[in-house]
Amino acid sequence: MRKTSLMFVIIVLLVSVSAEAQKPRRQPAPIGPPVRSLLSVQDQEGGGFLVFDVTTGVFKGNMCEHKIAFEGTGQVKVDGFNVYLSAVSDSYQIFVSLNVWDRQGKAVIEMFQSPDGKTDLAPIREFWTDLNIDDNRQDCVSFQPAK
């Protein structure tokens, strides 16, 4: 009797396992990006800002102390908690590095021409440090020249 019961249990287990293996597997839902889609970096000292879309690379910025507004499309790379934007053209070179865990960012911006491309400029090079990317304002109203 024990042998028959044991054989019956083994057969039931084998049949149920093979039947379960034939069911289609559900794919887990994809996980979205680890960061918001719009991020920004702001110049803590000189007054300027840059806002970019993580998914498309479209950016808009303003160098308030020079009264230069610019926009374009760059390449975005997400590496863990670090987000990088790079954009190079005949008019500008822009490199941004943000850490979304520490909520800090840095940017290097160099302008060679006016944003419309009609006027050459003396090269303007800016090094921005943003100690808190959560309190950024995307306007030039808050700009106060350093004394």
Cβ atoms of residues 35 and 100 within 8 Å: yes
Question: In the numeric block, which tokens belong to residue 135?
Answer: 């309190």
* 38-135: CATH superfamily: Calycin beta-barrel core domain (2.40.128.20)
Give the position of tokens 């800090």. 104
Using alpha carbons, list the distances in angstroms from residue 119 to 36, 67, 68. 36, 14, 12
Of 136 and 143, more confident: 136
Cβ atoms of residues 126 and 112 within 8 Å: no
pLDDT of residue 143: 43
Q: Name the residue among 47, 65, 132, 51 with its Cα closest to residue 96.
A: 51
Of 101 and 17, more confident: 101
Model confidence pLDDT, tens digit, residues 94-137: 999 999 889 999 999 998 877 666 667 788 899 999 998 888 87
What is the pTM assigned to this prediction? 0.68
